[in-house]
Amino acid sequence: MENLLDIGFLIESFPVIVARLPITIGIAVGSLIISLFIGLTTALIKIYRVPVLKTISSCYVSFIRGTPLLVQIYLVFYGIPKVIYYFQTEYGWLQNVDVNIIPPEIYALLAFSINLGAYLSETIRSAIESVDRGQFEAAKAIGMSPTQMMLKIIFPQALAVAIPNLGNMFISTIKDTSLVFIIGVIDIMGQAKILGSRGLAFFEVYIAVSIVYWIVCIVVERLLVIVEKRARRYERGFVS
């Protein structure tokens, strides 16, 4: 009689899957850092209503929010080499770039950064606009430049408002990295699929990888709670 669950294989698969965890975390953290710059730039363009760029940024956000992440990964993976090849053949640009040696992790990082940047732009914009307008007027009254006002007054207060949404998006990104195996990135989900196909024990490896994702997300959630509490203390101290 066949056993429902091969406990031995499940336990043995854990260290093999966890060995790929740095790739999963690396893509998630890297895309978060890059997307913060994309999101902040897009948010400021919308807030200050920059001509032309405002329309472009609105189209970018609308397109990303209106298409599946899976499609965006494919667009980046197949589109970027095609664009590079076009410039190489038509204009002689980027001759030193060999698309055949670009690792798939780079494409995954770019796809997730572009995707997350669109969502973060709305979070950042709403956080900045939630800051009391009196703070803007006070900063102007004491002679602060727009850059000084944003760095010293607005951003610290907006950060406290944005952290919960940033945290939720980061956790979602960690889970969404399970899609990168479709372009050849061997992350924890990819490793689980490989193990499952080798041992014909897909149920066991998917249980193992789900537990790994669960533990990682719990740890990240706890860390974000600590960060949010510190940001709230800073905000209270700033306001008082």
Give the distance between the most distant pair of CA atoms in the chain. 80
What class is the 7-239 domain?
mainly alpha
Q: Give CA–CA dist 30/201, Å, rounded.
A: 32
Most confident of 113-122, 158-167, 192-201: 113-122
pLDDT at 237 over 60: no
Q: Give CA–CA dist 186/201, Å, rounded.
A: 18
- What percent of the chain is modeled with pLDDT above 70? 96
207-226, pLDDT tens digit by residue? 999 999 999 999 999 999 88
pLDDT class of 2 with cuts at 50, 70, 90: low
Give pLDDT, residue 1: 42
Q: Mean pLDDT over all residues of the chain?
A: 90
Q: Give CA–CA dist 147/161, Å, rounded.
A: 20
- Residue ranges per structural domain of the chain: 7-239
181-184: Cβ within 8 A, 24+ apart: 182/70, 182/73, 182/74, 183/73, 183/74, 183/77, 183/104, 183/107, 183/108, 184/104
Secondary element (H or E) of residue 15: helix 7-18
pLDDT at 233 over 80: no
Q: Give CA–CA dist 151/148, Å, rounded.
A: 5
Encoded tokens for 161? 């408002």
34-48, pLDDT tens digit by residue? 999 999 999 999 998
Give pLDDT, residue 133: 78
Encoded tokens for 210? 């789900």
- What is the residue whose two structure tokens read 């014909």? 200
What are the helix (H) ranges across 66-154?
69-90, 104-130, 133-141, 146-149
pLDDT at 139 over 50: yes
90-131, pLDDT tens digit by residue? 888 888 888 889 999 999 999 999 999 999 999 999 998 888
pTM: 0.90
pLDDT class of 240 with cuts at 50, 70, 90: very low
pLDDT class of 236 with cuts at 50, 70, 90: low
Give pLDDT, residue 138: 79
Of residues 238 and 227, more confidently modeled: 227
Q: What are phi and psi of 20, to 5 degrees?
A: -95, 5
Residue whose C-alpha is closest to residue 230's, from 168, 169, 159: 159
pLDDT at 235 over 50: yes
